[in-house]
Amino acid sequence: MPPHVATPHALPTHAPEQFTTVGRRTSPSARRSGPLGSGLLVSAAAALTVTLLPATASAVPGTADEVAAQVAEASHELEVVSEQLNEARVVLDGHRDDARAATEAAEAAQARLDSLDGQVRLLARSAFTGSGMSQLDVLLSSDSADQLVSQLGTLDVIAGHTDEVLSGVSLASADAEQSRDDAAAAAAEAQRVVDEIAAKQEDLETRIAEYQQRYDELTAGQQAEVARAHGGDSLPAPAPSGVVAPSSAAQAAVNTALAQVGDPYIWGAGGPNAFDCSGLTSYAYAAAGVTLPHSSASQSRMGKAVSRGDLQPGDLVFFYSPVSHVGMYIGNGQMVHASTSGQPVKVASLDSMGSYNGARRIAG
């Protein structure tokens, strides 16, 4: 299959612009596929909960180090929320696909109904023309017993066919009505999800702005401490030729991910110039012709499970429970990932996140 290429979009000047809110400015990335970006969704529509920032993040800190610690915690909390929204996109897209399929089924059933209705009319006309005869007509007009049996058999066939067509019309009508009901229900559920996410958006944008303001107030050393607390120290990125993946698809994904080292982290971004964690991995595998949902939780259900001891370059590695962060393994106990706001895409130790959850092999 041809590789999927992410649509370019302008980089916002701060993280909140990556999300859209009804009645507010829409980012270029949000225009890619519908009124709420690529389709904002909920991992389970009724279960989406916007995680609150730690209460201490709004308190006056005692020391600059406390501010750094609070910002590091806020960074993780916001990534959790951001990945919930990414998962929500996947769910909403599924609802829209269901609605589209149900509508197509309804149209197909209606076309079948129209076709069968025409057949019924033809049969009805034939019953009142020279080709249609009653059993009495057959009895009076038959010249022999053999002819009588033959003509009665023909009448039975016509009657049986008529019954079959009428039954088909009835089934087609029921199918069309059920398909319409399914389409309406799926569309209504998709709209409910959109409305629920839209109501959560403004609160999330406010929290992202609060985080960004606090982060910008930190010294360079404190910002580095935040990065170490959520993503680890940056390691030298290996040359693509130095990473050997088990398949051409995995190799293409690894090469693409490594080529993004240095690009900024933006919540909700999926490339080509900025990324969040699942945006990077989905973008990398799209270059290999493999479509992955832009959600760490959804990606953790793709491919097949791999033990930590059997990791190979190209495998996706997941962190926290429930999953809210993903990176790509590149060998030697290292991964490439988009770690946190304020930090570029980088290579880091697999142990830098501190809460390894598992791994999945997508290709190879």
| CA–CA gap between residue 349 and residue 317 (Å, rounded) | 12
DSSP 196-220: HHHHHHHHHHHHHHHHHHHHHTS-H
Q: Which of 9, 76, 230, 277 is catalytic?
A: 277
Residues 6+ apart with CB under 8 A from 147: none
Is residue 340 within 8 Å of 79, Cβ to Cβ?
yes
Tell me the β-bridge partners of 104: none
> Distance of CA 231 to CAs 226, 271, 276, 323, 355, Å?
9, 19, 12, 15, 11
Active site annotation includes 325: yes
Between 248-259 and 277-286, two packed helices, what is the crossing angle to 10 degrees? Answer: 130
Q: Which of 76, 95, 294, 325 is catalytic?
A: 325
Tell me the β-bridge partners of 270: 275
| CA–CA gap between residue 105 and residue 181 (Å, rounded) | 11
| CA–CA gap between residue 185 and residue 303 (Å, rounded) | 31
Tokens representing residue 45 in the block = 């529509």
Is residue 234 within 8 Å of 347, Cβ to Cβ?
yes
| CA–CA gap between residue 71 and residue 227 (Å, rounded) | 10
| CA–CA gap between residue 140 and residue 66 (Å, rounded) | 107
Residues 6+ apart with CB under 8 A from 42: 48, 84, 87, 88, 91, 92, 193, 196, 197
DSSP annotation of 286: H
Residue type, 248: S
Active site members: 277, 325, 337
